[in-house]
Amino acid sequence: MSTTGRSNLNIAVPLREDAGDSPPGIPCFHCGLPVTTAGEFQTRTEDGGREFCCAGCLAVSEVISAGGMERYYALRDAPGNRPEAVDRQQFLVYDNPRLQQGWLIRKDQFAEAEFLVDGIACAACVWLIESWLARLPGVESADVNFSTHRLGVRWDPSLAGVSDLLLAVHRVGYRALPYTREARRSLEEHRRRELLKRLGVAAALGMQVMVISVALYAGDWFGIEPALADFLRRVNLLLVLPIVGYSAQPFFHGAWRGIRTRSPGMDLPVSLGIALAFAGSLWATVSGGGDVYYDSIAMFVFFLLGARYLELGARLNGARAMDSLAAVVPGTARRRRDDNTLETVPAAETAAGERLLVRAGEVVPADGVIDDGASSFDESLMTGEDRPVSRGVGDPVMAGSVNVSQPVTVTITARPGATVLDSILRLAERAHADKPRISRLAERVSRWFVVGVVMLAAAVAGLGLWLGNPAWLPTTIAVLVVTCPCALSLATPLALHAGIGNLVRRGVHVVRGHALETLNRVDHVVFDKTGTLTHAEMALEGITTHGHLDSGEALRIAAALEQGASHPLARPLLEAAGDAPLPRVTDFANVPGQGVRGRVDGKDYRLGTAEFVAESMGGLSPDGAAADRTDAAGLLVTLGEASGPVATFSFRDELRAGAHGLVKRMRSEGMGISLLSGDRPCAVDAIARDVGIGDARGGCLPGQKLAALDNLIGDGRVVAMVGDGINDAPALARAHLGVAMARNVNLASASADMVITADDLEVLGDARYVARRTFRIIRQNIAWALAYNILAVPAALAGMVPPWLAGIGMSLSSVVVVLNAARLTRD
Partner 1 sequence: MEIIYLLIPLSIVLVAAIVGVFLWSVRSGQFDDLKGPAHRILMDDDAPARKNASQDPSAAD
Which positions touch partner 1 (CB under 8 A)? 189, 193, 196-197, 200-201, 204-205, 208, 212, 225, 228, 231-232, 235, 238-239, 242
Sequence letter at residue 46: E
CA dist., res. 272 & res. 251, Å (int): 10
CB of 211 to partner 1, least distance (A): 8
CB of 312 to partner 1, least distance (A): 13
Pick between residue 205 and residue 686 the one whose CB is nearest to partner 1: 205
CA dist., res. 606 & res. 585, Å (int): 12
CA dist., res. 185 & res. 324, Å (int): 12
CA dist., res. 126 & res. 144, Å (int): 6
Pick between residue 59 and residue 204 the one whose CB is nearest to partner 1: 204
Pick between residue 244 and residue 778 the one whose CB is nearest to partner 1: 244
Pick between residue 239 and residue 460 the one whose CB is nearest to partner 1: 239
Q: Which residues pair with 604 in a beta bridge?
A: 599
CB of 289 to partner 1, least distance (A): 22
CA dist., res. 561 & res. 646, Å (int): 14
Pick between residue 201 and residue 812 the one whose CB is nearest to partner 1: 201
The count of other CB atoms within 10 Å of the CB of residue 607 is 28
Pick between residue 135 and residue 193 the one whose CB is nearest to partner 1: 193
Helices marked H in 506-543 = 515-521
CB of 401 to partner 1, least distance (A): 26
Pick between residue 196 and residue 433 the one whose CB is nearest to partner 1: 196
Taking CA 340 as the corner, what is the angle to CA 338 and CA 341, rounded to the nearest 5 degrees? Answer: 105
From 575, 536, 534, 573, select the one nearest 557 (Cα to Cα): 573
Sign of torsion, CA 557 560 566 572?
Answer: positive
CA dist., res. 19 & res. 70, Å (int): 18
CB of 298 to partner 1, least distance (A): 12
CB of 204 to partner 1, least distance (A): 5
Sequence letter at residue 503: L
Pick between residue 228 and residue 589 the one whose CB is nearest to partner 1: 228
Is residue 650 within 8 A of residue 634, CB to CB? The reply is: yes
DSSP state, residue 347: G
CB of 808 to partner 1, least distance (A): 22
CA dist., res. 687 & res. 665, Å (int): 17
Pick between residue 38 and residue 228 the one whose CB is nearest to partner 1: 228
CA dist., res. 300 & res. 482, Å (int): 10
Pick between residue 319 and residue 745 the one whose CB is nearest to partner 1: 319
From 818, 147, 808, 822, select the one nearest 484 (Cα to Cα): 808
CA dist., res. 795 & res. 804, Å (int): 14
Helices marked H in 606-720 = 610-615, 623-631, 659-668, 681-691, 702-714
Pick between residue 205 and residue 610 the one whose CB is nearest to partner 1: 205
CA dist., res. 132 & res. 139, Å (int): 10
CA dist., res. 393 & res. 396, Å (int): 9
Helices marked H in 135-248 = 162-171, 181-222, 226-242
CB of 497 to partner 1, least distance (A): 20
3-state secondary structure of 264: coil
Instruction: Provide the pairing of β-strand 110-118 with 104-107.
Output: antiparallel
Q: Which residues contact 70 (CB under 8 A, 6 or more apart)?
A: 1, 4, 5, 8, 9, 64
Q: How many CA atoms lie within 13 A of 313 on its CB side?
A: 13
Q: What residues are annotated to the active site?
A: 528
The count of other CB atoms within 10 Å of the CB of residue 627 is 10
CB of 332 to partner 1, least distance (A): 22
CA dist., res. 643 & res. 509, Å (int): 56
CB of 492 to partner 1, least distance (A): 28
Q: How far are the Cα atoms of 202, 223, 228, 243, 385 from residue 231, in angstroms, in the given order?
A: 21, 15, 5, 19, 68
What is the total residue count of the chain?
827
CB of 186 to partner 1, least distance (A): 11
